[in-house]
């Protein structure tokens, strides 16, 4: 099936073709006719499934140009809001529509002016509610509302804001809800604001034949040395290195530059303009290595990413799926490599238990042991928690995990004795079982060498 067979407007088909999009994904072919019919819809979509076009194509097609604000799309983070708006502008290149974004961290004035001219507003809930309470936006003529990454909005505490925003809209409207999971909170939102919604499900475009997933079982103090070795020896184009904490992003990026590897970093503490500049440069390959916190894991569509490195794992197993979904997109191949140390075992067990992924153990390899300067994370001394919501000085315990040995001066060498972590001795690793479906699964603690 192609978009012509779905009776998509020829102007949109032309714009899609220019983007290299010629055949709809499963969720697109299922969702587009339903949305066009006016029914409410719940899309259970995995990362890389093409959900933006699933709701974006029919929305752009149904817009009446120059007739005021008609569609509101809400997303949990500004980067995703910007990504959605960018995609809609591409789909509607020949349709004469206006799309604008609304998010915090920038002035209200320009957003007020842009909203007055737009048919589609893509917004984060907090800033949109601020505009609504100030009387800067009128939602009384909204025809369609889209909640993208609804599960993430729940996690971030936006669900009450979303509820209040929807209540400011007319009773008669189409509600489209997309998320990887439907939590109790999202289900309550569905019961309150949706009318007999259709449900469509999608599989990820990131398929096993396109995405290789590997892990190296390694002590925490060796991670950085192995990372540098892989970056210098893997045939990479664009690479994203994901870290669970902002302080680790700072340290890893600093130390990569000390090793002559040009890299940039992105996390929630950077200014909005800086984050946008970093993402724009990375998309253009300047530089080709990005060290990122969870802020870049969801919804950001960066073409030509060949490698994703998990320097460490988030405590949320679902975050792994979003991370690895940044590569092997749109039929391209990619590789996801996890540097697995004892403190990551519990999360990795959960990933393999909850998700249908196959992650292959890689054999032990030799690599140069490098000096790691843990002072690279101390560039901001304003204090705060050591997480993606704020950081100050890096705790000694995490200097060790990040690659330093925790001694005065924060310098360490890859060959130093590792600290104990997570109750495992340095000689132990995850136990892996080879099942009949050839899927690897962690089962507990057993000598890593027996399964490497």
Distance separating alpha carbons of residues 346 and 332, to the nearest angstrom? 31
Q: Does pLDDT of 394 surpass 90?
A: no
* 3-state SS track over 103-119: CCCCCHHHHHHHHHHCC
Q: Is the separation of the CB atoms in 87 and 301 below 8 Å?
A: yes
Distance separating alpha carbons of residues 406 and 396, to the nearest angstrom? 5
Out of 122-131, 175-184, 229-238, 373-382, pick the least confident: 373-382
Distance separating alpha carbons of residues 180 and 375, to the nearest angstrom? 38
Distance separating alpha carbons of residues 411 and 149, to the nearest angstrom? 40
Confidence (pLDDT) at 46: 65
Residue 185 confidence class, pLDDT cut points 50, 70, 90 = confident
Residue 6 per-residue DSSP state: T
pLDDT digits 0-9 by tens, 295-324: 765 656 677 899 999 999 988 887 888 888
Over the range 31-43, which residues count as b (16 or more CB within 10 Å of their CB) and which as e?
bbebbbeebbbbb
Q: Using CA of residue 305, residue 226, residue 276, residue 128, what is the dihedral sign?
A: positive
What percentage of the chain carries pLDDT values higher than 90? 55
pLDDT digits 0-9 by tens, 45-85: 766 678 899 999 999 999 999 999 999 999 998 888 998 99
Confidence (pLDDT) at 439: 33
Q: Is the separation of the CB atoms in 416 and 221 below 8 Å?
A: yes
Confidence (pLDDT) at 330: 61
Distance separating alpha carbons of residues 151 and 177, to the nearest angstrom? 10
Confidence (pLDDT) at 280: 85
Calculate helix-pair angle for 78-91, 272-283, nearest 10 degrees. Answer: 50
Confidence (pLDDT) at 257: 94
Contacts of 82 (CB under 8 A, 6+ apart): 101, 103, 122, 276
Calculate helix-pair angle for 51-62, 78-91, nearest 10 degrees. Answer: 50
Phi, psi of 17 (to 5 degrees): -60, -35
What percentage of the chain carries pLDDT values higher than 70? 79
Q: Does pLDDT of 230 surpass 60?
A: yes
- Please report the domains of the chain, with CATH numbers, ordered by start residue: 10-201 (3.40.50.300), 211-450 (3.40.50.300)
Q: Is the separation of the CB atoms in 41 and 197 below 8 Å?
A: yes
Residue 221 has which token pair?
A: 């103090």
Residue 105 confidence class, pLDDT cut points 50, 70, 90 = confident
Calculate helix-pair angle for 108-117, 125-134, nearest 10 degrees. Answer: 80
Q: Does pLDDT of 141 surpass 80?
A: yes
According to the per-residue pLDDT averaged within each range, which of 323-337, 388-402, 422-436 is highest? 323-337
Q: Is the separation of the CB atoms in 54 and 60 below 8 Å?
A: no
Distance separating alpha carbons of residues 449 and 431, to the nearest angstrom? 10
Q: Does pLDDT of 219 surpass 50?
A: yes
Calculate helix-pair angle for 51-62, 26-37, nearest 10 degrees. Answer: 30
Could you tell me how far CA 314 lies from the centroid of its own chain? 12
Residue 287: asked if its preceding bond is cis (omega within 30°), the reply is yes
pLDDT digits 0-9 by tens, 22-44: 889 888 999 999 999 999 999 98
Residue 410 per-residue DSSP state: S
Residue 420 confidence class, pLDDT cut points 50, 70, 90 = very low
Q: Mean pLDDT across the chain, nearest whole number? A: 80
Strands 371-373 and 411-413: antiparallel
Confidence (pLDDT) at 204: 52
- Assign residue 435 a region (left: φ > 0; alpha: ψ between -120 and 50; beta: otherwise): beta
Indicate the helix (H) or strand (E) that contains 74. strand 71-74
Over the range 210-224, which residues count as b (16 or more CB within 10 Å of their CB) and which as e?
bbbbebbbbbbbbbb
Q: Does pLDDT of 284 surpass 50?
A: yes
Better-scored residue on pLDDT, 300 or 214? 214
């Amino acid at each position: 099936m192609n978009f012509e067979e779905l009776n998509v407007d020829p102007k949109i088909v032309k714009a899609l073709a220019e983007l290299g999009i010629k055949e709809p994904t499963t969720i697109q072919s299922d969702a587009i006719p339903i949305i066009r019919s006016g029914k409410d819809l719940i899309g259970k979509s995995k990362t890389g499934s093409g959900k933006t076009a699933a709701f974006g194509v029919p929305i752009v097609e149904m817009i009446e140009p120059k007739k005021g604000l008609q569609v509101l799309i809400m997303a949990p983070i500004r980067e995703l809001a910007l990504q959605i708006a960018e995609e809609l502008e591409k789909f509607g290149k020949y349709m004469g529509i206006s799309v604008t974004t609304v998010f915090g961290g920038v002035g209200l004035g320009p957003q007020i002016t842009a909203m007055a001219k737009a048919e589609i507003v893509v917004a984060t809930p907090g800033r949109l509610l601020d505009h609504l309470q100030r009387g800067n936006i009128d939602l009384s003529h909204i025809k369609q509302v889209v909640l993208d990454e609804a599960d993430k909005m729940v996690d971030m505490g936006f669900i009450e804001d979303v509820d209040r925003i929807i209540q400011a809209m007319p009773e008669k409207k189409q509600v489209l809800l997309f998320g990887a999971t439907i939590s109790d909170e999202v289900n309550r939102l569905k019961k309150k604001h949706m009318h007999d919604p259709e449900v469509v499900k999608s599989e990820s475009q990131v398929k096993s034949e396109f995405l290789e997933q590997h892990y190296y079982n390694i002590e925490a103090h060796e991670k950085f040395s192995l990372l540098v070795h892989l970056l210098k020896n893997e045939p990479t184009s664009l690479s994203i290195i994901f870290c669970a904490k902002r302080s680790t992003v700072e340290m890893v990026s600093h130390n990569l530059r000390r090793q002559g590897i040009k890299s940039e970093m992105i996390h929630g503490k950077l200014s909005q303009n800086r984050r946008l500049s970093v993402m724009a440069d990375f998309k253009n390959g300047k530089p080709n290595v990005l060290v990122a916190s969870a802020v870049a894991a969801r919804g950001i569509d960066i073409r030509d990413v060949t490698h994703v490195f998990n320097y460490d794992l988030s405590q949320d197993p679902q975050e792994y799926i979003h991370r690895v979904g940044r590569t092997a997109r749109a039929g391209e191949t990619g590789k996801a490599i996890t540097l697995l140390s004892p403190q990551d075992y519990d999360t990795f067990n959960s990933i393999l238990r909850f998700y249908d992924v196959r992650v292959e153990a890689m054999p032990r390899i030799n690599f140069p042991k490098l000096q790691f300067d843990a002072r690279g994370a101390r560039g901001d001394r304003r204090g705060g928690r050591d997480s993606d919501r704020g950081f100050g000085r890096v705790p000694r315990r995490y200097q060790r995990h990040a690659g330093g040995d925790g001694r005065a001066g924060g310098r360490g060498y890859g060959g130093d004795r590792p600290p104990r972590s997570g109750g495992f001795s340095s000689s132990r690793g995850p136990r892996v079982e080879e099942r009949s479906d050839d899927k690897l699964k962690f089962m507990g603690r057993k000598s890593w060498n027996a399964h490497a």
